[in-house]
Amino acid sequence: MSAIDPSRSELDRPRDSIVPVVAAIIWREGTFLAVERRPGAAFAGMWEFPGGKVEQGESLNQALVRELSEELGIIPERSAFRKIVTHHYETLSVRLYFFDVHAYRGTLHAREGHRFEWLAPDAAHAPRFLEADREILTELAAEAVGT
């Protein structure tokens, strides 16, 4: 995999048909945060990692900060890039830039009406997760078994 610099924009070029998205794996005491997509949204009722689309000219770090602030009222203080996953849905293709977030400031609350839960990595397949997140869920479960 090629190295990326989350502090610079990966999008300072014309957009292709793949939508760039940041996704946060927010950790707390061995569990991670999952959010449920709100009614009326695409894939409503499905579970996912918090995050969202990267805006044109925005760095991945800027997008991560903006999305977590907008959705959850928090600012990541300690995060690390984990992995890129590209997924093709029937009507949409996404390129997810996953970050582990180990510390944040602010009080976590669902600003956009999301429901959220803290899940153990080995129990993460219980809720219905978006297909694009399943590879990461499998990795998290394997890492939990190995620790």
29's CB contacts (< 8 A; 6+ apart) are none
Q: Provide the residue-wise pLDDT of the chain in tens; the chain has 147 residues.
A: 446 666 555 554 444 589 999 999 999 999 999 999 888 888 888 999 999 999 999 999 999 999 999 999 999 999 999 999 999 988 889 999 999 999 999 999 987 667 899 999 987 665 689 889 989 999 999 888 875
DSSP, collapsed to helix, strand or coil, labels residue 21 as: strand
Supply the DSSP symbol for 86: E
DSSP labels, 45-81: T-EE-SEEEPPTT--HHHHHHHHHHHHHS-EEEEEEE
Select from 15, 47, 12, 40 the least CA-distant residue to 123: 47
In one-letter notation, the amino acid at residue 128 is R
Structure tokens at 136: 């990461």
pLDDT tens, 68-77? 999 999 999 9
- Structural domains for the chain: 18-146 (3.90.79.10)
Phi-psi region of 139 (alpha: psi -120 to 50; beta: other; left: phi over 0): alpha
DSSP, collapsed to helix, strand or coil, labels residue 35 as: strand
pTM of the model: 0.85
